Amino acid sequence: MKTFAFKIDPMTGEDYYEVYARGRQLLNDPHLNKASGFSREERETLGLEGLVRSAVLSLEIQVERAYEAFLRKPDDLEKYIFLVALQDRSEVVFYKLVTEHLKEMVPIVYTPTVGTACLQMSSIQRRFRGVFITPENIDHIEMVLQNITLPQVNLIVVTDGERILGLGDLGSDGMGIPVGKVSLYVAAGGLHPHVCLPVCLDVGTNNQRLLDDPAYLGYRHPRLRGEAYEKLVETFVLAVKRRFPDALLQWEDFGKSTAFKNLERYRDRILSFNDDIQGTGSTSLAALMTAMRIKQSRFQDERYLIVGMGQAGTGISMNILAALAEEGLSPEEARARIFAIDMQGLLVEDDPTLEPPQRPMAQRRAALAQWQLESENTISILDVIRNARPTVLIGVTAQPGLFSEAILQEVAKSTERPIVFALSNPTSKCEATPEQVWKATDGKGLVATGSPFPSMDWKGTTLRPSQCNNMYIFPGVGLGALVAKASKVTDSMLMAASRAISAMVTPEQEAMGLLLPAMEDIRKASAVVALAVAKQAREEGLGRLLSDEQLEQMIAKAQWNPHFTQFRAG
């Protein structure tokens, strides 16, 4: 079912595609369609004569026309629909447009606009992208994978749609997330689009709105659970191993319980990682590393309040524990500095509802004996702030406005430069805006958010929030692991990625409160992360034994830049 293959001319060394499609089939294939960019020779040999207008337009002119059309769209959702339609027509034009306007378009192709799009996906869907695997076709998984027309598959981003951003269970309408993540892998990381595959495990939904909606396009059944669900995931993973043995599998937006289970079950069996757990944790750690430099502090000198112990909160906590361990603290000493709150309040060791990943962060009951509490039943955010005096406040709750002015002012009493991360997506779910943090802390707060927010002038100084976007980590991790041919992604590789990102922040950026590099440098950041990951894979005996210079050259060569490749008839 492949429509083309990558080739190199042995005589001239030219890269080209050997193309098996012809005529209208070629024009309707977004991987291959150049629109008016087909050369005279290609038109003649590939059955395109008379099917396109006379002029041969360069990629640059096509992108200019597309950008003009983009700017005419009245709102962000319409811009999203336009960009998806462009991607469905010509991927090269789409990626050239996005890479040239990356900062402007990332909020459209991904958060926050992708959240709005996912809420309406069955209504705005025009063409299907990627692969949908259901209980109805899982027994024919080999046939499903044979239907893929890509020349090869090196990256798979997969979701089951149970926890889409902060929006919850969206079933197969959540496919917008893997599609968006693939776009970021290409635009920010430089992976070739024709080796990237978005996948939805459409196992039903418990969202009654979708089940009752006659326009819903997904598997219209309650969500598959238990042994039947685990069997479907196992069948999928084994099929991926057989058909795409060198591919990296990224788990994306699964529910909390299944996310941790899938990560632990498969992280040593297949090259894979979970972006919501490990990517969020690594990006946040990079931002915290920069904050420590600004404060001239150490991790062990701070006290951490993390609100929301789902995948993101747990991942962040695990990374802080690792940073404390690197500074020489014992597990018990590290635990004493982290205060984790979930639905039941502060996590305490004797709570029978604790989940296994949460236990390392649960406080000893004896350590709380002298605390003054508002209620004996639940230890609240304010209880923790007043008794533990945290200096770092992190929110991943999807509860807008959770960090009130009173909470922010109370945290500011404990430190000269409070660190406040309000990381929930989309923008409407953010626990506090940067402006609210700065007003409550007299402009001294070091701020990171999940979605983009504007800068603010404060007493003659420009303050800039950092978007703690996983895009700083996951494209580079994927690129580095693939170039290194790593057998798995380890915690040490992700720690190396965090260090590399933090080191990119300049003193001038730190003076404005920035904790992560500028979004304009995201391609460079991906290359820096990829090199750090590849070197760490080599040091752990899990990757290719190449020199730093060789790895750097291979990563530079692997980063694809959008261009029209020559086609030859196959």
Span 469-511, pLDDT tens digits: 999 999 999 999 999 999 999 999 999 999 999 999 999 999 9
* pLDDT of res. 305: 98
Helices (H), 368-468: 381-388, 405-412, 434-440
Q: Which of 246, 265, 243 minimizes the C-alpha distance to 254?
A: 265
Span 327-371, pLDDT tens digits: 999 999 999 999 999 999 999 999 988 988 899 999 999 999 899
Phi-psi region of 389 (alpha: psi -120 to 50; beta: other; left: phi over 0): left
Number of other CB atoms surrounding residue 448 within 10 Å? 29
Would you place residue 111 in the very low, low, confident or very high pLDDT band (cuts 50, 70, 90)? confident
The answer to whether the CB of 526 falls within 8 A of the CB of 188 is yes
Q: What CATH code is assigned to 285-469?
A: 3.40.50.720
* pLDDT of res. 200: 98
Show me where the domains of the chain are located: 58-270, 285-469, 474-558
Span 456-471, pLDDT tens digits: 999 888 999 999 999 9
Strand partners, 419: 392, 446
Count of all residues that appear for the chain in the document = 570
Mean pLDDT of 76-93: 97
Would you place residue 377 in the very low, low, confident or very high pLDDT band (cuts 50, 70, 90)? confident
The answer to whether the CB of 189 falls within 8 A of the CB of 478 is yes
DSSP structural state of residue 564: P
What residues are annotated to the active site?
A: 110, 181
Q: Which of 293, 273, 397, 400 minimizes the C-alpha distance to 345?
A: 397
Q: Which of 339, 334, 441, 318 minimizes the C-alpha distance to 388?
A: 339
The amino acid sitting at 19 is V
Integer Cα distance of 330 and 418 in angstroms: 25
Span 243-272, pLDDT tens digits: 999 999 999 999 988 999 999 999 999 999
SS3 category, 198: strand
Phi-psi region of 162 (alpha: psi -120 to 50; beta: other; left: phi over 0): alpha
Query: Virtual CA dihedral for 402, 404, 410, 411, nearest 10 degrees?
Result: 50
pTM: 0.94
* pLDDT of res. 519: 87
Would you place residue 452 in the very low, low, confident or very high pLDDT band (cuts 50, 70, 90)? confident
The DSSP result for 250-302, as a single string, is: EE-S--HHHHHHHHHHHTTTSSEEEIIIIIHHHHHHHHHHHHHHHHT--GGG-
Mean pLDDT of 370-385: 90
Span 26-57, pLDDT tens digits: 999 999 999 999 999 999 999 999 999 999 99
Q: Which of 443, 392, 400 minimizes the C-alpha distance to 421?
A: 392
Would you place residue 114 in the very low, low, confident or very high pLDDT band (cuts 50, 70, 90)? very high
* pLDDT of res. 387: 96
Q: Which of 174, 152, 176 minimizes the C-alpha distance to 161?
A: 174
- In three-state form (DSSP H/G/I as H, E/B as E, the rest C), the secondary structure along 137-177 is CHHHHHHHHHCCCCCCCCEEEEECCCCCCCCCCCHHHHHHH
Q: What average pLDDT does the structure give for the chain?
A: 95
- Tokens read off for 2: 């492949």
Q: Does 1 have pLDDT greater than 80?
A: no
Span 156-171, pLDDT tens digits: 999 999 999 889 999 9
- In the CATH hierarchy, which fold is given to the domain comprising 58-270? Rossmann fold (3.40.50)
